[in-house]
Amino acid sequence: MRRIGSFLSTHAWARLTLLLTAPLAWLVLVYVVALAALLLTALWSVDSFTGEISKSLTFANIKEIATESLYRTVTLRTIGVALMVTVIDVVIALPIAFYMGKVASPRARRLLVVAVLTPLWASYLVKAFAWRSLLSEGGLVDWVLNPFGGGSPGYGLTAVVLTQAYIWLPYVILPIFAGMERVPDSLVEAAGDLGASTSTTLRTVVLPLLLPSVIAGSIFSFSLTLGDYISVNIVGGANQMLGNLVFTNVGAANNLPLAAAIALVPIIIMLGYLAAVRRTGALDNL
C-alpha cells in the first residue's frame, strides 16, 4: 500500500488514470454505448407482417419523422410547453432567489432553503395527481375561482404547463439562489455608491452575473418537460407530447426503431441547447 502511495505521489498520470478509469468506463460503457445503439436502432425497421426487427439500415423512420405533419405538430407543441414552463419558472424563481440570497436574514435564509427543498421529496406522481384533483370539475380551483366568475382550465395543455411548472420550480429556484449567493455584496454596494438606481444595479450588475445560474436552472425545467409523458397522461386530456409518441411505439405499437427515431428529436434539441449555452459557463452551475 505504501509503495503504491509513494509511486502515486510522484506520478501524476498514474493518479489521473486511477481516478478517471472507473467513472469514465461506466459512463462510456453504459451511456455512450446505449446512445450510439439507439442511433443505430433508429435506422432499423420493423417488418409489418411478422413484427420482427429487420437490421438492414434504412432512413425510412427518419424520413417519416421529418415529413409527417403529426411529428412536426407534436414537436412544436412539446417545445412550446417546455418553453412556457421554463419562462414561468424563471420569472417566479428570480425574485424568490433574490429575496433568499440578498434580503433575508441568515436564519430566515436557512428556513427558506428547507421550505423550497421539502416539496422536492414529495413524489412527482403525487404532485401531478394533486393537480389533477385541484383542476378537476368541482375541485379546489373551481371552488376558489367560481365566485369570481372564473374556473378551472380543465385538463389540457394549460393544465400540463401549470403542473410541470409547479413540479420543476424547486429545480429552478435552487441554482438561481446559489448563483445569487455568489454575487458579491461588494459589487452591488459599489454600484449603489456610484449612483446606480436599484433597477440599474439589478440590470447591469446582478443579472449578468446571474445568467449562468439562470441558464443552468432552465436546462432542468426545459429538459425535464421535454421528455415528460406521465403528467400529460394525468392532466393533459387527449394531448400528446413527444414522450407519449416514444412510449406508445415502444409498448403498444411495438415499433422500437420508430421510437428510437422519435427519441432523437429531444436529443437533438437538448444538444443544440447545451451547445448554445456552453460558452456562458452554465454547465458548471448545474
Cα(23)–Cα(137) distance, integer angstroms:
50
43 binds other proteins (CB under 8 A): no
Q: Which of 35, 57, 70, 145 binds other proteins (CB under 8 A)?
A: 35
Q: ∠ CA 283-284-286 to the nearest 5 degrees?
A: 70
186 binds other proteins (CB under 8 A): no
74 binds other proteins (CB under 8 A): no
Query: What is the smallest separation between the CB atom of 150 and other proteins, expressed in angstroms?
Result: 15
Q: Which of residues 200-219 bind other proteins (CB under 8 A)?
A: 201-202, 219
- With CB under 8 A as the contact rule, which of the stretches 29-37, 61-69, 153-161 interacts with other proteins? 29-37
Burial class (CB within 10 angstroms; exposed 0-12, middle 13-18, buried 19+) of 221: buried
Query: What is the smallest separation between the CB atom of 168 and other proteins, expressed in angstroms?
Result: 12
64 binds other proteins (CB under 8 A): no
Q: Which of residues 165-184 bind other proteins (CB under 8 A)?
A: 166, 169-170, 174-175, 177-178, 181
Q: Which of residues 258-277 bind other proteins (CB under 8 A)?
A: 259-260, 263, 266-267, 270, 274
Q: Residue 183: enclosing H or E segment and its boundaries?
A: none
Cα(221)–Cα(89) distance, integer angstroms:
8
The answer to whether the beta carbons of residues 104 and 96 sit under 8 Å apart is: no
Cα(77)–Cα(72) distance, integer angstroms:
8
Cα(29)–Cα(146) distance, integer angstroms:
56
The answer to whether the beta carbons of residues 152 and 142 sit under 8 Å apart is: yes
Query: What is the smallest separation between the CB atom of 170 and other proteins, expressed in angstroms?
Result: 8
Cα(173)–Cα(220) distance, integer angstroms:
11
Q: Which of 43, 62, 92, 211 binds other proteins (CB under 8 A)?
A: 92
235 binds other proteins (CB under 8 A): no
122 binds other proteins (CB under 8 A): yes
Q: Which of 156, 158, 211, 229 binds other proteins (CB under 8 A)?
A: 229
76 binds other proteins (CB under 8 A): no
Query: What is the smallest separation between the CB atom of 270 and other proteins, expressed in angstroms?
Result: 5
Amino acid identity for residue 79 in this structure: I
Total chain residues near other proteins (CB under 8 A): 102
Q: Which of 74, 84, 112, 161 binds other proteins (CB under 8 A)?
A: 112
Handedness of CA 86, 91, 92, 97 (dihedral sign): positive
Cα(232)–Cα(228) distance, integer angstroms:
7
- With CB under 8 A as the contact rule, which of the stretches 62-70, 117-125, 153-161 interacts with other proteins? 117-125
- With CB under 8 A as the contact rule, which of the stretches 57-65, 66-74, 95-103, 153-161 interacts with other proteins? 95-103
Cα(260)–Cα(253) distance, integer angstroms:
13
Q: Which of 79, 85, 224, 258 binds other proteins (CB under 8 A)?
A: 224
All cell numbers assigned to 120: 422536492
Residue-wise burial string across 3-20, b where 16 or more C-beta atoms lie within 10 A, e elsewhere: eeeeeeeeeeeeeeeeee
